[in-house]
Amino acid sequence: MLDKMTDDDRLELQIIERLGEALPAQATLTLPFELRQKSRLRTWLDNGAEVGLFLPRGTILRHSDRLRATSGLIVEVRAAPETVSTARTADPLLLARAAYHLGNRHVALQLDPGWLRYLHDHVLDKMVRELGLEVVCEQAPFEPEVGAYGGGQHPHP
């Protein structure tokens, strides 16, 4: 279904560039976070057209990013809903403590005022509940922090 791309694969539609501006998109590409981290990927646009990603190594695609194909087609990236755990608290210290303990385990985190989100894991859910946060498992787009060495990637709200 989804295959890793090699440089000698030839598809009619090849995406080669992430744009720095939000040009009007003519197509959309919806992917979970795991696949938005791949710079070489064979996949399908939301309209069913097969496409190959040939982006610089280390590229992390974010929701609403715009990509350009060799044909000139502009594609908008969408973050696919996936199974995540969302932990909430009104106490900023508890939120910081949970983020610290999850970060100590190298867990990718999405942070917002009053909540944090990570890919669902029942063991981590138990730990976070024991710290005093309310945790729910849900389907939602996952946009984790890029990290200190993210190479200038930009987070989106």
Measured N-to-C along each axis, helices 122-130 and 92-104 cross at an angle, to the nearest 10 degrees, of 140
- List the CATH number of the domain containing 37: 2.60.260.20
Q: Is residue 155 situated within a structural domain? A: no
CA distance 26 to 56: 22
The total domain count for the chain is 2
**For position 10, what pLDDT does the model report?**
64
Residue ranges making up the domain that contains 124: 81-141
Q: What is the pLDDT of residues 4-14, one digit of tens each?
A: 545 445 678 99
In this structure, is the dihedral angle defined by the CA atoms of residues 151, 67, 64 and 62, taken in order, positive or negative?
A: negative
Same domain, 107 and 126: yes
Same domain, 74 and 99: no
Closest CA to 128 of 108, 99, 93, 105: 99
Tokens at 126, concatenated: 């138990």
Same domain, 86 and 75: no
Q: Is residue 113 situated within a structural domain? A: yes
Same domain, 24 and 57: yes
Question: Which own/partner contact pairs does 119-123 have at CB distance under 8 Å and 24+ positions apart?
Answer: 119/33, 119/82, 119/83, 119/84, 119/85, 120/83, 120/84, 120/85, 121/85
Same domain, 98 and 71: no
Same domain, 71 and 127: no
Same domain, 38 and 73: yes
Q: What is the pLDDT of residues 58-99, one digit of tens each?
A: 899 999 999 999 999 999 999 999 999 999 999 999 999 999
Sorted by sequence, the CB contacts under 8 Å of residue 149 that are 6+ apart come out as: none
**For position 66, what pLDDT does the model report?**
97
For the residues 111-139, what does the mean pLDDT come to?
Answer: 98
- List the CATH number of the domain containing 105: 3.30.70.790
Tokens at 86, concatenated: 């969302």
Q: Is residue 1 situated within a structural domain? A: no
Are 65 and 22 a contacting pair, CB within 8 Å? no
